[in-house]
Amino acid sequence: LPRAAALTAGLAVLLPVAGALASRALVSDEAEAGTARVAVIQGNVPRAGLEFNAQRRAVLDYHVKETKRLAERVDRGEVKRPDFVLWPENSSDIDPFRNPDASAAIDSAAQAIKAPISVGAVVEKDDGKLYNEQVLWLPGKGPTATYDKRQIQPFGEYLPMRSLLHRINDSWTTMVAQDFSRGTAPGVFTIDGTRVGIATCYEAAFDWAVRDTVTHGAELISVPSNNATFDRSEMTYQQLAMSRVRAVEHSRSVTVPVTSGVSAVIRPDGEIVRRTGMFVPATLVDDVPLRTSETPATRMGIAPETALVVIAAGGLAWAITRGVRGRRAA
**Which carries the bigger pLDDT value, residue 4 or residue 63?**
63
**Out of 22-36, 142-156, 190-204, 283-297, least confident range:** 22-36
The active-site residue, picked from 201, 203, 219, 249, is 201
Q: How far is CA 47 from CA 15, 44, 60, 204, 229, in A?
A: 50, 9, 14, 26, 10
Phi-psi region of 17 (alpha: psi -120 to 50; beta: other; left: phi over 0): alpha
The active-site residue, picked from 89, 133, 157, 219, is 89
The active-site residue, picked from 66, 133, 149, 203, is 149
Reply yes or no on whether 149 is catalytic: yes
210-268 pLDDT, tens per residue?
999 999 999 999 999 998 878 788 889 999 999 999 999 999 999 999 999 899 999 99
Reply yes or no on whether 201 is catalytic: yes
The pLDDT of 283-305, averaged and rounded, is: 93
The count of other CB atoms within 10 Å of the CB of residue 230 is: 13
Pairing of strands 142-148, 130-138: antiparallel
DSSP 8-class letter at 181: P
- Dist CA 311 CA 318 (whole Å): 10
Average pLDDT score over the chain: 89
Residue of 285, 281, 288 whose CA lies nearest to 113: 285
